Amino acid sequence: MLKSMFLKAVAATALSVSTFASAQAVDLQFYFPVAVGGKAADTIQSLTDDYMAANPDVKIDAVYAGSYQDTVAKAITAARGGNPPQLSVILSVDMFTLIDEDLIVPFDDYLKDEDEKEWISGFYPAFMENSQTGGKTYGIPFQRSTPVLYWNKEAFKAAGLDPEVAPATWDEMVDFGKKLTKKDASGNVNQWGVRIPSSGFPYWLFQGLAIENGATLANAEGNKTNFDDPKVVEALQYLVDLSTKHEVMAPGIIEWGATPKAFFEGQTAMMWTSTGNLTNVRDNAPFEFGVAMLPEKAQRGAPTGGGNFYLFKGASEEQTEAAVDFVQWITAPAQSAKWTMATGYVAPRAETWETETMKQYAADFPPVLIARDQLEFAKAELSTYQNQRVTGIFNDALAAAITGKKSAEQALTEAQAQVDAILTEYR
């Protein structure tokens, strides 16, 4: 009798503890960056709040961590200090660095059934090139993009150009740029033909030129670069020539962050920037504008870009499972559509584009389809082991050529030698 009463008490206590535990929210910390203007931060917070409202057993602290560079630095520092976020959006190209630092775990380990595993195959293959390695999926595409060309239709019309037609080739971009560059009576330029930023993410926009010229900047394994390829040198010379020879672009380093504002204010008639700026441009351009794929040379092409979700080591099983569920939810069609409409980032799964919401949005605003359609020609963004160091060296080489300190060939040859010394150990 006493034994029976004891067992019942133990069972009741266990049930009470279980009920108490289930009532406790799983706490997640989620770092996210913002690299473009517009509604990105507010939309992230809104979506996170929606998820928590539908899942009261999960509490997510969405932390705006600054730029992509700030976010990866903060995530790595927190992880080394023993307090990593459970989830973070970090550049897709930082995958090899995060693996090398032994900070992340693959999503595959937390996808339990065939439906969940099939979920991985629903993302556009071009985005998965920077998300998988060694047969494992380390990143889930979220705020992904390609660079596109924006043009001011009013400026085109004033220059005698067809306002509905963007330059389709490198030569056309120069020809159009000459017609669009305007000077005052003193010879000062008050409207440039084109603006390709060379700060912030110089390697990314330049990679568009390299791909269009048939070049590949790095191999898929992330352990070898081809910076001194003659096709890469030719692409860099073209970029330099836009300012020094053709005089259709401002000389020197052109700021990434100031480029949309320069476009809005009529300082440039065309600009290259992320499709993630699309909603920002739609909301703030005081003129009709167009969006086009990047102009081709040997071929069409553009790098993919933007951030992936990563799962950090050090989380409990419950935290990681909740993080995976949140990622599956926020990349699902309804939420993905909200994100794309708020920002212009490319919805990373084809199923989102098949929803009535997105079909209607695309019908009302066709430019949203340009970056998606450009994925057919897109290549993986430059990504290697020691990625921060490698891209830093490459960015410095681009800057040296753009500012006239070195020739394109010298700058890229020296950069290749420096990077070879870093990546040899990974081959």
Over residues 3-23, mean pLDDT: 40
Q: What is the pTM of this model?
A: 0.86
Distance CA 226, CA 209 (A): 14
Written as six digits, the tokens of 304 are: 């993919």
pLDDT at 36 over 70: no
* Long-range Cβ contact pairs of 46-54 (< 8 A, separation 24 or more): 47/330, 47/335, 47/338, 47/339, 50/335, 51/326, 51/329, 51/330
* Long-range Cβ contact pairs of 80-84 (< 8 A, separation 24 or more): 82/314, 84/312, 84/313, 84/314, 84/315
Over residues 177-193, mean pLDDT: 96
Give how far Cα 196 sits from Cα of 12, 66, 253, 259, Å.
68, 23, 9, 8
Instruction: Report residue 41's pLDDT band, with 50, 70 and 90 as the boundaries.
Output: confident
Give how far Cα 336 sits from Cα of 141, 164, 315, 327, 377, Å.
11, 29, 26, 11, 23
pLDDT of 373: 96
pLDDT at 336 over 80: yes
Better-predicted residue by pLDDT, 276 or 77: 77
Written as six digits, the tokens of 357 are: 């919401």
pLDDT at 314 over 90: yes
Sign of CA dihedral 329, 330, 335, 336: negative
Over residues 231-250, mean pLDDT: 98
pLDDT of 410: 98
pLDDT at 20 over 90: no
Nearest CA among 331, 282, 276 for reference residue 309? 331
pLDDT of 162: 98
Show the domains of the chain with their CATH numbers. 16-144+306-368 (3.40.190.10), 147-303+386-426 (3.40.190.10)
Q: Which residues lie closer than 8 Å to 53 by C-beta, 6 or more apart?
A: none
Give percent of the chain with pLDDT exceeding 90: 83
pLDDT of 113: 82
Over residues 4-12, mean pLDDT: 42
Average pLDDT, the chain: 91
At 76 the three-state DSSP class reads helix
